[in-house]
Structure 1
Amino acid sequence: MGSLVPFNDVNLFPNRPLYTTAAAGAATATSTATTIPLLRPKIEPKAEPLDEPPLNKIQTNVEPQYPCPNLLSSSPTTPFPDTDDLNSLALESAPSSEENAHTKLYHITEMFHPAFGQRKQKYRDVNVLDSSSRAIVPVPDERQLVVSMRHHQKRSSELVRVTNLGIEDHRYFRNVVRRTRMLYDSLRIFSAMEEDKHHGIGMGRRMRVDLRAAALLRDSGLWLNCDKRIVGSIPGVYIGDLFFWRMELCVVGLHGQPQAGIDYLSSSQSSNGEPIATSIIVSGGYEDDEDSGDVLIYTGHGGQYKFSGKCSHQKLERGNLALERSMHYGIEIRVIRGFKFEGSLTTKVYVYDGLYRIVDSWFDVGKSGFGVYKYRLIRIEGQPEMGSTIMRFAAALKTRPLEARPMGYLTLDISNKKEHVPVFLYNDIDSNHDPMNYEYLPRTVFPAFIYHAASNNVGCDCVSGCMDGCICAKKNGGEIAYDHNGFLTRGKPLIFECGPSCRCPSYCRNRVTQKGLRIRLEVFRSRETGWGVRTLDLIHAGAFICEYAGVVLTREQADICGMNGDSMIYPGRFKERWAEWGDLSQIYPEYVRPTSPSSPPLDFSMDVSRMRNVACYISHSTSPNLLVQFVLYDHNNMTFPHIMLFAVENIPPMRELSLDYGVADEYTGKVSICN
């Protein structure tokens, strides 16, 4: 398991001028680690003034559908923890389950106990029996305190760096971040749906659903890295990760300021009175910024007043001083870039581009004629390619593929125009061109007998589109499964979309998957997974990707044909990842997992030995970024649904797609995957 290295006081260790770091851009210290001169500012825990806007004020007139969880008990016999431990308390209160990622967050808190040992003893909420063994035991507290769930959890003033993370540690933290972001996106989509129900679509001033989702997570103690200030890489956050909302950066601990571009430890928290910067956001807000990728000229904040139109000289204080002090101490800075990107529903997208070092700072006259502070940052070598660079490259591929990448393309559309958008086929590794040997199948082919009762289907009479309460909504348990952007609100055992018997128009929000592939995908040759699939478009969490298409065979037909497991897909063996999407039990204890409409056990297979589509090349993963959702729209035979794929997280361009194919075949012992 990884460990935390607190920043020590340089005055206490005059003979230790070196600080051990790992290879550039990584959080793991290895045997090849190098040492660089690094002074240590003395940082002591002190109360920090609230540096975020009061998010809960925006919820004054909006009540959740379910009651908020009572994570803090007012019982006199219940020990009351320090406010820094709200996360761990929330986790202990949650149901015990391996599928509950937030229960594992207690594992994170345990990792940070050594760095907080003295503080814990100071406030008498734990005993540190042995600092080396990290044995920490709660001490009963006889204080009878009632704490409101609306109390803001203050950020820690302890600066730490995460080191010594192994492969399993990286996987674990990645899964924690993925599940937290999934919950955030589910809350955001759910809140938007509730807003539409109460006020109508586009009626009046809309609530900031991104702020409400963040506030609900914070009130439930589910923000990550609130009990520490991490210098360098955040465990579980990868270079290239994409965010649509500034508040989501705060939720995962990547950048703690909802508005300011510089995140820093304030001087009031440091015993020597020096602020320390940890991350910046570059979004084009200052005209004096110069960004060439690996080298960045960043302009400090202040001096501009948007509402009054006035300007003044910037001052070397707050975030500006923090950047200068971080340069002095050699502390690396996380850089997040914000920019407009085609296909985004928000005004900007934010992508994490890795770690930089500040190598120079100076005071200069800006283009406006006023003095500004400038900082030269250089990206640390050895890191993966910047996410912003990859996104620009993907945008060029969509319009000029042969110019952007002249070698490696086998075809620019393996679907032969059977899809709405072309599907690229790329191989720059070997001469394999296997996907070109199959007939492309845009939709699943079902046996003719399942359509016999289709003429008796009863459809809706909606004129301008289905709403909750119509007959199609009742089929889905009383609610439409998609929001007005076509995003899946929460997973269900089965979804009924409007079909041929319905009178609603083609733009009805209950007609999503039947419209087919709309996202540009590329099948590519990989050294790790054989053939894989990656996206050229930016994909929002909850968005429909494509159908998993093949020729459906009953069990008897499969036995007669004698197909082997390598060319057969068994839909009944896909993991029920749909249950994770939209699961709000962490926030609302009375949340009930959807059980209607129920789906009977699936007893059919899909032959992809001769005909298949792009989905057949998606790789297997136990932590996938796609889920399988069963859907019906052209018939009502619930034992033969369509296999539809949805995104469970924001997926940036050029990132590989993955599925959880479930258990291995009982005969071959292999995972049921044709790739």
Structure 2
Amino acid sequence: MSIIKVFDQYLCKGLENVPVLREGNVSKEEYSEFQYSPENIQGPGCDIDPSEVTLPGCSCHAHSCLRESCSCLQTYGQTCRQTYDSHGRLQDQGDTETGYCRPVFECNALCGCSEACFNRVVQRGLGLKLCVYPTEDRGWGMRTLEPIPCGTFVCEYAGEVIGFEEARRRQLAQGLEDNNYIIAVREYAGQGPVSETFVDPTVVGNVGRFLNHSCQPNLFMVPVRVHSLVPRLALFAGRDITPQEELTFDYSGGYSNTPSVERSVQSDPGTEASETGTLQRKPCHCGAQNCSQFLPLDLSVLNN
């Protein structure tokens, strides 16, 4: 039996470099409160405008920067080994000793290098053919329409950047049937304080909000800083991905044995639940052999 696929209007409304297709019909009510934005915007509790250029630029005056001399490729006096190769692919998924991703600083608007510099990837935006489609039991999902080599930047998880108290308020206001898109990213810098970033694409967001959780994902997330100290939550291919594969990442922050940051999100409501205190953990339907049976649940935002 043949399968008829119906592609209606583009999801991204012309705001991305490449149109994002949407498979199947969607009711007007479903998107009546959703505003598409390809990048993060400043929300309640965020003291820094993510769109404002606040990071200094490098003094490189070349077509492409050199790793040994570019200040954007050095972090806290040490060369940042996690960088892009000549194809714009992330070369390193994390530190094998600590298990955490090293920070990525791209060249920005104040840099002297050219727009073709190899250290400009996430800032160029979406470059792959993607499609949002209805899954059988996990709400909306996203698949690729073309092959994606390992290390390739796929998309951002963009939305409102909000503060801790606002994230707490929004989560407490949610009902059991409400989708929770808030993601909390925690970065560690040695013995220094933990840096927290909260992104909520519920009302304003990009295509990243349609990515489902998997206990065996094919994407991993890395905080990438371009113009601002506010990181962009960039998702990269953790392995070679074939056309028509669903794109997923681990909401708890893990990828294989090298978690990059701590984070968690609740997703589409399920029909079953297991109580965790006053909250309910929602079942995971990823189908992976190592499935933990329940979606990750971050209680730190609610317990503090």
TM-score normalised to the size of structure 2? 0.70
Residue number in structure 2 paired with 1:660: 250
The whole-number CA distance in structure 2 between the counterparts of 1:547 and 1:464 is 26
What letter is aligned with 2:182?
A: I
Q: Which aligned pairs between 1:36-55 and structure 2 lie closer than 5 A?
A: none
**Inter-partner Cα distance in structure 2 for 1:418 and 1:508:** 23
Instruction: Measure how far apart 1:473 and its partner are.
Output: 1.9
Structure with bigger RCO (C-alpha 8 Å, 6+ apart): 2
Residue pair 1:627, 1:646 contacting (<8 A) in 2 also:
yes
- 1:407-446 to 2 correspondence within 5 Å? 407-411=5-9, 413-427=10-24, 434-435=30-31, 438-446=34-42
2:75 aligns with 475
SS at match of 1:616: helix
Contact 1:571-1:602 at 8 Å conserved across structures: no
Which position in structure 2 is the counterpart of 1:507? 116
For residues 12-27 of structure 1, the aligned pairs below 5 Å read none
| SS of residue paired to 2:142 | strand
Unaligned runs of 5+ in 2: 94-100, 253-263, 267-275, 283-294, 298-304
Aligned identity (percent) is 28
Asked if structure 2 preserves the Cα contact closer than 8 Å seen for 1:625 and 1:659, the reply is yes
Distance change in 2, residues 1:432/1:417 (3 Å): closer
1:515-558 Cα shifts (integer Å, max 9, x gaps):
00000100001113221100111111110001101101101223
Q: Does 1:572 align with 2:185?
A: yes
Paired residue type of 1:474? Q
Structure 1 contact 489–542 (Cα < 8 Å) conserved: yes
Distance 1:598 1:463 in 2: 36
Equivalent residue for 1:557, pick from 156, 160, 166: 166
| Alpha-carbon distance, 1:616 to partner | 0.7
Number of equivalent positions? 246
* Alpha-carbon contact 1:569-1:672 (below 8 Å) kept: no
Among 59, 66, 73, the residue aligned to 1:460: 59
- The partner residue of 1:536 within 128, 136, 145 is 145
Q: Which amino acid aligns with 2:281?
A: G
1 CA distance for matches of 2:92 and 2:237? 12
Task: Decide whether aligned partners of structure 1 residues 436 and 524 sit closer, same or farther in structure 2, where only a CA change above 3 A counts.
Answer: farther
- After superposition, the C-alpha distances for 1:147-176 in whole angstroms (9 at most, x for unaligned) are xxxxxxxxxxxxxxxxxxxxxxxxxxxxxx
How far the C-alpha of 1:668 sits from its partner, in A, is 4.5
Q: Amino acid of the residue matched to residue 248 of structure 2?
A: S
Once residues 505 and 597 of structure 1 are traced to their aligned partners in structure 2, the CA distance between those partners, rounded to angstroms, is: 33
Q: 1:469 to 1:547 in 2, by over 3 A?
A: same
Equivalent in the alignment of 1:669: 281
Q: Cα gap change, 1:434/1:493 in structure 2, threshold over 3 Å: closer, same or farther?
A: farther
**Is contact 2:182–2:265 with CA below 8 Å preserved after alignment?**
no
CA separation of 1:664 and 1:466: change in aligned 2, threshold 3 A: closer
Residue matched to 1:643: 233
Counterpart residue identity of residue 449, structure 1: D
Map of 1:261-660 to 2, 5 A cutoff? 407-411=5-9, 413-427=10-24, 434-435=30-31, 438-446=34-42, 449-451=47-49, 454-455=53-54, 457-470=56-69, 471-475=71-75, 477-478=78-79, 479=81, 481-491=83-93, 492-560=101-169, 563-564=173-174, 566-572=179-185, 601-635=194-228, 637=229, 640-660=230-250
The answer to whether the 8 A contact 1:494-1:598 is kept is no
Deviations 1:185-222 (A, max 9, x none): xxxxxxxxxxxxxxxxxxxxxxxxxxxxxxxxxxxxxx
Q: In the alignment, is the contact (CA less than 8 A) between 1:541 and 1:647 conserved in 2?
A: yes
Task: Describe the shift of the 1:438–1:451 C-alpha distance in structure 2 as closer, same or farther (beyond 3 A).
Answer: closer
Distance 1:507 1:530, change over 3 A: same
Q: In the superposition, relative to structure 1, how do residues 527 and 431 fare at CA in structure 2: closer, same or farther (>3 Å)?
A: farther
